[in-house]
Amino acid sequence: MQCEIRHPKINVIPVIDLLHGKVVHGKAGQRSSYQPIQSVLADSAEPLGICQSLQQHFGFTDLYVADLNALTGGAANVMEIAQLLDTEINIWLDAGTATLTALEKLSRQIPLDMLAYVIIALECCPQPQDLEQVFEAVGPTRAVFSLDLKGGQLIVPDTHADASLWQTMNAIGVARKAVEIGFRKMIVLDVAAVGGGQGVETLSLTRNLAGKFPDLEIISGGGVRSVADLKSLASAGCQYALVASALHDGRINATHLNVE
């Protein structure tokens, strides 16, 4: 079962950002200032409660979970993720697993085979060979590449010796490399737009990617305000939309979505 806007078709995937065991309101990638979310759907910022509320109000079958502690090199929110995995919702987990070392570390804490999808984020991936290695370990059906930007610029890990090969590429070049490796799903997200309610900043890029890679499933979001933004994403070649703030403040509600 997927929640889809009436026209054109796009699958809406709710997002929760986890920080120190709570769901927080992400805004513009300024993670140090994130505060626990205030939602019209739930009385607290507990991840399990938020998940259950999203299921109850919308009938969502998928949930994108960004573990901000793990993404910044800290300890994953293992207990909270385990609780979410114990529900019937399909978890897309973004937890910094962009190297074999990070993937193996998380696998000792969380049963990765219970995840619907494993997100492999550019912001945590030192080199193209790391992306290839993790893709091979996760497998083509569950591996999702995240093309991360901030203000239109690629987000790549800081390097201390040799410059990352990513720095020699533009966004299309990075996407092409991921497609060559074998990725079938790709997230395109500009974190500067997240939580700002100013609209989606990636439409031109997703339209370009959809034209160049017609078999690629594209997921985008960040700044979604309304059904009109969802329609714009669909028109720009996206099959999935990541949405958070607009669900929690009521700008997008169940009457806007079809459950099929």
DSSP symbol at 70: H
Q: Is 30's pLDDT higher than 90? A: no
Higher-pLDDT residue of 256, 15: 15
Residue 93, C-beta contacts closer than 8 angstroms, at least 6 positions apart: 65, 67, 81, 110, 115, 117, 118, 119
Higher-pLDDT residue of 117, 44: 117
Give the pLDDT score at 196.
Answer: 65
Q: Please say whether the beta carbons of 165 and 97 come within 8 A.
A: no
Domains in the chain, please, with CATH?
A: 3-259 (3.20.20.70)
Q: Is 161's pLDDT higher than 50? A: no
Per-residue pLDDT of 83-118, as tens digits, reads 999 999 999 999 999 999 999 999 999 999 999 999
Q: What angle do CA 81, 197, 236 make, to 5 degrees?
A: 85
Q: Where are the beta strands (DSSP E) in 158-227?
A: 185-190, 217-221
Give the pLDDT score at 42.
Answer: 83
Per cent of the chain over pLDDT 70 is: 89
Give the pLDDT score at 6.
Answer: 44
Q: Please say whether the beta carbons of 250 and 38 come within 8 A.
A: no
